[in-house]
């Protein structure tokens, strides 16, 4: 879903919930503010976790990234960006035809 579709979904369901529960105007206003904040958070998460086309930009720092490359079919994997080219590891030969990338997000330690 796109951010716009998510926002429309949340707003549609908020209106249904408000009408079904017979909420008062103050409650509706609080509910609307919370849902708008929720939509902003979802928009931010979608932006942070989307696949970035290499035609749009390349990573700013040298590191490993999730990548998608085209080799007869699209293949997802992990590659190292050394600031100039993509490689399987920092010392391997370069990888061609990478179309998209995104940061690797590791789970938080408990």
Average pLDDT rounded to a whole number, residues 84-91? 84
Q: Bigger pLDDT: 53 or 44?
A: 53
At 57 the pLDDT is: 93
Number of Cβ within 10 Å of residue 33's Cβ equals: 10
pLDDT classification of 82: cutoffs 50, 70, 90:
very high
Q: At what angle do helices 25-48 and 3-21 cross, to 10 degrees?
A: 160
How far is it, in rounded angstroms, from Cα 34 to Cα 83? 41
Q: What percent of the chain has pLDDT over 90?
A: 30
Q: CB neighbours of 27 closer than 8 A, spacing ≥ 6?
A: 18
Choose among 34, 3, 5: nearest CA to 18.
Answer: 34
Element (H, E) at 81: strand 73-81
């Amino acid at each position: 879903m796109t951010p716009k579709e998510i926002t429309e979904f949340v707003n549609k369901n908020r209106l249904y919930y408000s009408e079904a529960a017979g909420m008062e105007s103050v409650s509706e206003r609080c509910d609307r503010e919370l849902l708008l904040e929720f939509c902003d958070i979802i928009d931010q998460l979608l932006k942070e976790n989307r696949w970035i086309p290499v035609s749009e930009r390349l990573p700013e720092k040298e590191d490993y990234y999730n990548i998608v490359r085209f080799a007869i079919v699209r293949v997802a994997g992990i590659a190292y960006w050394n600031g100039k080219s993509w490689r399987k590891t920092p010392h391997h030969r370069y990888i061609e035809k990478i179309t998209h990338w995104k940061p690797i997000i590791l789970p938080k330690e408990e």
